[in-house]
Amino acid sequence: MAIFILSLIIAISSSFLSIGVAKRFKWVNRLFSRIVKILGYLPDIFIMPLVILVVILIYQYSGILILDVASTADKDVILLPALLLSIVPFVQFYKILDQTIEEELDESYVMMARGKGLSETEILVKYVMPNIASVYFINFRQVVWMTLSSLFVMEILFFIFGATSFLYTYHQPEILLTVLVLMFIPLYIMFIGLKFIIERLTGVSV
């Protein structure tokens, strides 16, 4: 679950950072939109092996191992699987932020804020982001389940004996129940924590 949680953290932070830069510069916005569109078309089961192959080829021709591509008995690979697993949630989070922000920027309160001389960054941080928080949270739960479905493929490719691989290997009811509880308790706590933070910051019940 460490890789799964890390992938979500990477996806959330990178999506907010990317959308913040994109809304400041039009050419960056066009570039990111194209990248996200391409990534959205490609299935993760295609992207993951492709990236692993590229890392291996770079190592073969240059002798430089950018990132570990497989777990061993002594060391579990974490960073590359987390980065690859974060692609799906990043694409979804970016699309959600882009669409909701564009809708909010057409609202009358944004026009008034601009008329008062507020910068685009101030408007985005102080007014737009709080207003889209509830929509983000609703879609956040769906994206988490989508990411969880990709976890099994990632564990197979990187030879990681993780939670989903464990579920696939052992079928005893008591083991299945224990693993499922251990998997979903952190997710439930994360959902409740995020819900609490959004409600405290925005005053809107989600």
* Domain residue limits, the chain: 2-202
Architecture of the domain defined by 2-202: Orthogonal Bundle (1.10)
pLDDT tens digits for 115-127? 777 777 777 777 7
Nearest to 68 by CA among 76, 54, 57, 60: 76
Range name among 72-76, 81-85, 125-129 with the lowest pLDDT average:
72-76
- The number of beta carbons lying within 10 Å of the beta carbon of residue 194 is 17
By CB neighbour count within 10 A (0-12 exposed, 13-18 middle, 19+ buried), where does 156 fall? Answer: middle
Contact 163, 179 (CB under 8 A): yes
Nearest to 131 by CA among 95, 99, 101: 101
- The number of beta carbons lying within 10 Å of the beta carbon of residue 129 is 20
By CB neighbour count within 10 A (0-12 exposed, 13-18 middle, 19+ buried), where does 193 fall? Answer: exposed
Greater confidence (130 vs 38) lies with 38
pLDDT tens digits for 137-178? 878 888 888 888 788 778 777 777 777 666 667 667 777 777
- Top mean pLDDT of 55-69, 87-101, 137-151 is at 87-101
pTM confidence score: 0.80
